[in-house]
Amino acid sequence: MSERVNIADVITNIKDDGQRMGKDLVALGQAEMKPIAKNAGIGGGAFGAAGYLALNAASLLFLAGGFGFSLIFFDALAWSAVASLAVGFVCMAVLLLIIAAVAAVVGKGALKKVGPPRQTIDEAKASVATIKASLQRGKDAVTANQLARTGLAAAKRQAKDLSPR
């Protein structure tokens, strides 16, 4: 004969297995995420260092451009070295301001195109309307069911009253 299975033992086993599976999944996730996080940190640090060095290189190029303008003024116009340096750096600054103004105009034009996510908003509104309608239909069904039961109870009472005793 087969032995009867205790339902409490089955439920306890299912609970224990579920907890063990949950712990195993957490451990697996941690084991997978550690190298990913390490690589992301190294990559982010490397990009940060590259950005810092690129900014320093750009600063040096701007200085070189200022010196280049000053040499043009020194040679072409025979100005003094100090006046050539001053005007050369002012010219470089003006050139950078012109580039910055062009970038600002382009950025402003791009920002004007930014708007709210219309389709997502419309879909959310439609979902809310559908849920409201569904809730109303459910409420109406419950009300109709209650009315039907009330009517059925009244009909049963009436039938009971009409039955011969």
Q: How many domains does the chain have?
A: 2
Q: Would you place residue 32 in the very low, low, confident or very high pLDDT band (cuts 50, 70, 90)?
A: confident
Helix ranges (H only) for the chain are: 7-77, 81-112, 118-162
| End position of a domain, from candidates 87, 114, 141 | 114
Same domain, 12 and 73: yes
Closest CA relative to residue 74, chosen from 66, 65, 85, 58: 85
AA letter at 158: Q
Same domain membership, residue 63 and residue 29: yes
Which domain range does residue 122 map to? 117-165
Q: Is 2 exposed, middle or buried (0-12, 13-18, 19+ CB in 10 A)?
A: exposed
Q: How far is CA 75 from each of CA 63, 68, 86, 89, rounded to the nearest angstrom?
A: 18, 11, 14, 16
Which of 79, 96, 114 is the C-terminal boundary of a domain?
Answer: 114
pLDDT band at 31 (very low <50, low <70, confident <90, very high): confident
Write the pLDDT tens digit of every residue in 99-155. 999 999 999 888 888 778 788 888 878 887 887 787 788 778 778 777 777 877 777
20 & 42 share domain: yes
Report pLDDT for 3.
67
Domain final residue, candidates 88, 114, 140: 114
pLDDT band at 160; cut points 50, 70, 90: confident
69 and 121, same domain (yes or no): no
- 125/106 same-domain check: no
Burial class (CB in 10 A: 0-12, 13-18, 19+), 120: exposed
Tokens of 148: 């039907």
Residue with tokens 């559908």: 130
